[in-house]
Structure 1
Amino acid sequence: MSTPSKWPLPQAGIRFITPAFMIEKLARHPLTKDCYPTAMGYYPRASGHRMLRERHDDNLLLYCTEGRGQLAAGGWSGNVGPGQIMLLPQGLTHAYEADPGDPWSLHWIHFQGASTRVLMQYLGYREDRIVTDAGVSPVLIGAFTSLLEVRRTGYSTRAFINAANHLRHLITQMTMEISAHAGRLQSGFGLDQVQAYMLEHIDQTVTLESLAGVANMSKYHFSNRYRELTGYSPIKHFLNMKMEHACRLLDSTDLGVGEIARRVGYEDPLYFSRLFRKTLGRSPRDYRASMR
């Protein structure tokens, strides 16, 4: 395991190391062996904070929420600022330090497991992409803070199993925040605005032209950009939103399938049912029965 820095903790700082006996349990347990935390913490305004690791046994994520610092890893070097995430996979030699005049605040976590290489790639790690940008996200800050609560459980095995799975959720949440932030930064493209428009018109049919108009882009560039950010074409994503809404109605109301079809923009219940089965793998009635 890579040792965290020895930076002197202030009162608001946190540094927690998973004990060796718990790491052994997590490495064997079927619910945690793919990904589990070995150390985590929070360094506020970390003046004087620096670290050099020629040998790096863990995977490490560092999320800067204010201030600045510098990072050198592999063949990459550069500055790091608020909202950026440093992706340091196992085996990557690296060095980093807080800016002397404007020291960073960091949420950080060391982790290991059989699937960590895949998770790092899912976050976007490449040899030439060590730092990615999620913006300063209250969602991510809250997730890191929640994860740190495991240090108050008296080394409860169940709590650490929960924390390990919470870590996987944090990583997938990061990818969503990275994607959303990229959409906000894209000149002339507001992903949140487009998806809000979709939700407002969930009971209607929308065209690619109308969605591109909301984004003030050509159909071609809008469609390509939307797919880059979400992994779906705009119309396919709108269909998924409709099916999600239909699932909520099936689960939370006693409305008939025909009425639910109309509430998501389909006059023909049979056509709606075919789309639902194609998306969810079961009919609306089977879905409702399984939920109840």
Structure 2
Amino acid sequence: METDINVKYLIANKQDKLWGITVTTVGYQQIVPHAIYPPKNHPVRYLFSSHKGRTLGEYILLFIANGRGAFSSGKQKKIQLATGSMLLLFPGEWHNYEPDPSVGWDEYWIGFRGDTMDALVQNAFFSKQKKVFNVGPSLEMIQLFRMAISVAVEQKAGFQQILGGITNLLLGMTHSLDKSRYFDQSQPMRLINKAKFIMSENFYTNIAMEEIAGRICMSYSSFRRNFKQYTGLSPHQYLQEIRIQKSKELLAATDLTCQEIAYKTGYESPVHFSIIFKKKTGLTPVKYREYCHGSGAYTFDCLEIAEE
């Protein structure tokens, strides 16, 4: 691959913007040791001094594929960057970054804006308090950036929608890999995975969460806290989701009665099963079965899981 590829000033029309994410720039630079940074061919619109920093009008994802350096911003004191670091730069906020002169680095970036990203920030998936993500050395990330560069260079019909999808995937992977690497380094993650296995093997019983916590040698308060942090659900909510998914399978693929399914999936009574099922899916078990068998013109959505 070339050492410098800058695809800048990408155009987005009104319809493109309705997609939720539009891309403004995408590129790659290889900064060799002791080279001037940013290089002279850096896009003028994004030019900055490594001593003074800069402020941009869009979001930027910048991936350090190789090398090391440093980053700072209005809300982030100077922090070291290494291979596998992903920066998320926010519009309107001063920032500064540069490679270690003795090592240099390879950087990929994509600039974007849109309502979808604004919503992710508003819903706390991303925050100005955390701009550096440890996604690790990732060939998948590099391949996605290279795909984005290729799409931006060709600019075929609908290219903004493809770039928006790639950006969404980069954001999702950044969020997931950073979270996974945090948990991979901790003993609680392994215990939570063990707890999830216990639930999947015992969902049809009246197994108590306190019993599961005991089986993984963790206090219930720590178990519930770690489980929620790792999965986004409380242990009870997670077990309910397993039961609901299993009951959906049985309703769609068997002739078992609702009473039989209720007991096979761990509910204390058919009435309790029907109430929970409708709360989660918007349909009673009978209506769900009719829908799956094509005998009813029903529509439904999976409702959000209520907090305990």
Instruction: Determine if the TM-score, normalized by the shorter chain, exceeds 0.5.
Output: yes
* 1:38 CA drift (Å): 1.9
Aligned length: 275
Alignment partner, residue 5 of structure 1: none
* Aligned ranges 1:112-151 → 2 under 5 Å: 112-120=113-121, 122-126=124-128, 128-136=129-137, 144=145, 150-151=151-152
* 1:110 CA drift (Å): 0.8
CA distance in 2, matches of 1:149, 1:205: 54
* 1:89 CA drift (Å): 0.6
Alignment partner, residue 221 of structure 1: 222
Q: 1:39 aligns with which of 25, 29, 36?
A: 25
* 1:80 CA drift (Å): 1.6
The 1:284–1:216 alpha-carbon spacing in structure 2 relative to 1, beyond 3 Å, is same
Unaligned 5+ segments in structure 2 are: 39-47, 295-308
What TM-score, normalized to structure 1? Answer: 0.74
User: SS of the counterpart of 2:93?
Assistant: coil
The alignment yields a C-alpha RMSD, in angstroms, of 3.5
Unaligned 5+ segments in structure 1 are: 1-9
The 1:215–1:11 alpha-carbon spacing in structure 2 relative to 1, beyond 3 Å, is farther
| Contact 1:82/1:136 (<8 A) preserved | yes
- The answer to whether 1:87 aligns with 2:76 is no
Q: 1:24 aligns with which of 6, 9, 13?
A: 13
- The answer to whether 1:58 aligns with 2:58 is yes
User: SS of the counterpart of 2:189?
Assistant: coil
User: SS of the counterpart of 2:242?
Assistant: helix
TM-superposition CA deviations, 1:165-207 (whole Å, max 9, x none): 4533543453333333332233443244433443343444432
CA distance in 1, matches of 2:13, 2:3: 30
Alignment partner, residue 69 of structure 1: 69
TM-superposition CA deviations, 1:208-247 (whole Å, max 9, x none): 2243245542111221222233332111122123323434
The amino acid across from 2:281 in the alignment is L
* Aligned ranges 1:63-212 → 2 under 5 Å: 63-76=63-76, 77-120=78-121, 122-126=124-128, 128-136=129-137, 144=145, 150-151=151-152, 154-157=155-158, 159-190=159-190, 191-212=192-213
Identity %: 23
The amino acid across from 2:178 in the alignment is I
User: SS of the counterpart of 1:67?
Assistant: strand
CA distance in 2, matches of 1:112, 1:185: 33
Alignment partner, residue 237 of structure 2: 236
